[in-house]
Amino acid sequence: MAETRIIHGFHAVIARIRQNADSVSEIYVDAQRKDPRARDLLKLAESHDVRVVPVDGKRLDGMAGNTRHQGVAARVDAAQRVQHLDDVLDTLTEPALLLVLDGVQDPHNLGACLRSADAFGVHAVIAPKDRAVGITSTVEKVACGAAETVPYITVTNISRTLRELQERDIWVVGADGEAESDLHSFRHTGAIAFVLGAEGEGLRRLTKETCDQLVRIPMLGSVESLNVSVSTGVFLYEARRQRAASA
């Protein structure tokens, strides 16, 4: 029997149905919800022949680990994800835009990073298998469906993976608040991988040493740094802005 997991929240469930309905075993909806949003979800499920099970709120609370689930959850195939980076890189029709997260621990930060990755057309998010939060139901909910649209690839060794990217002529840029270069002077419109570190700690030493270049976000106020998910959005926006300007 295939391994399954629970996702919850309207965005995550709807995105999974639209992206890969065959991977959805069944949907659980709070029997008390009769509003338009719930009715639209039921219509979507019916159009894709996905079974819907009315349940009470307490059962949903248990499924979602007592986090906010909006009255909807789904059981999905846990294996329905891109497993290898080569599967992504070998099929690209434009220079790669990758996001590497070096040990993000907070599920809300990871969810927000995935949401930005989806918004700016990132081809894959890469993260370590250990010492990182991974895709959880909370991550899926915060990502508002992006966890289903952006390939999330875990690797055993981040530094080794960065070297493999460099061998493919992908420029590896680390975010570092102490870097000499800042985004005002940074220029690169080719294949690129942005590397951001964990909350509060930044990039690990070996990860930093492996990068081709380190870049900082210019800070004009009194705070010294930005949240990793906010920084992700800034870097990815700049990458897409430069590509559009050079087209």
Which pair of tokens denotes residue 152?
Answer: 């999330």
Q: Do domains 4-77 and 85-246 have the same CATH topology?
A: no
Distance CA 178, CA 165 (A): 24
Is the pLDDT score of 138 beyond 90? no
Q: What mean pLDDT do residues 154-177 have?
A: 95
Per residue in 235-247, pLDDT (tens digit) is: 999 999 999 998 7
Angle at 41 between CA 38 and CA 50, to 5 degrees: 130
List the single range of 81-85, 127-131, 202-206, 226-230 with lowest mean pLDDT. 81-85
Is the pLDDT score of 3 beyond 60? yes
Distance CA 39, CA 17 (A): 15
Is the pLDDT score of 149 beyond 90? no
Q: What is the sign, positive or negative, of the torsion defined by CA atoms of 180, 96, 205, 219?
A: positive
**The domain defined by 85-246 carries CATH number 2.60.40.3500:** no
Q: What mean pLDDT do residues 45-66 have?
A: 89
Coil/strand/helix, residue 28: strand
Question: Domains of the chain: which residue ranges?
Answer: 4-77, 85-246
Q: What mean pLDDT do residues 172-196 have?
A: 93
Is the pLDDT score of 41 beyond 80? yes
Q: What mean pLDDT do residues 191-208 have?
A: 91
Per residue in 69-113, pLDDT (tens digit) is: 889 989 988 765 556 788 788 778 899 999 999 989 999 999 999
pLDDT for residue 82: 55
**Average model confidence (pLDDT) across the chain:** 88
Yes or no: say if 140 and 111 are a contact pair by the CB < 8 Å rule: yes
Q: What mean pLDDT do residues 180-205 have?
A: 91
Q: What mean pLDDT do residues 6-20 have?
A: 81
Fold of 4-77: 60s Ribosomal Protein L30; Chain: A; (3.30.1330)
Q: What mean pLDDT do residues 30-44 have?
A: 92
pLDDT for residue 61: 86
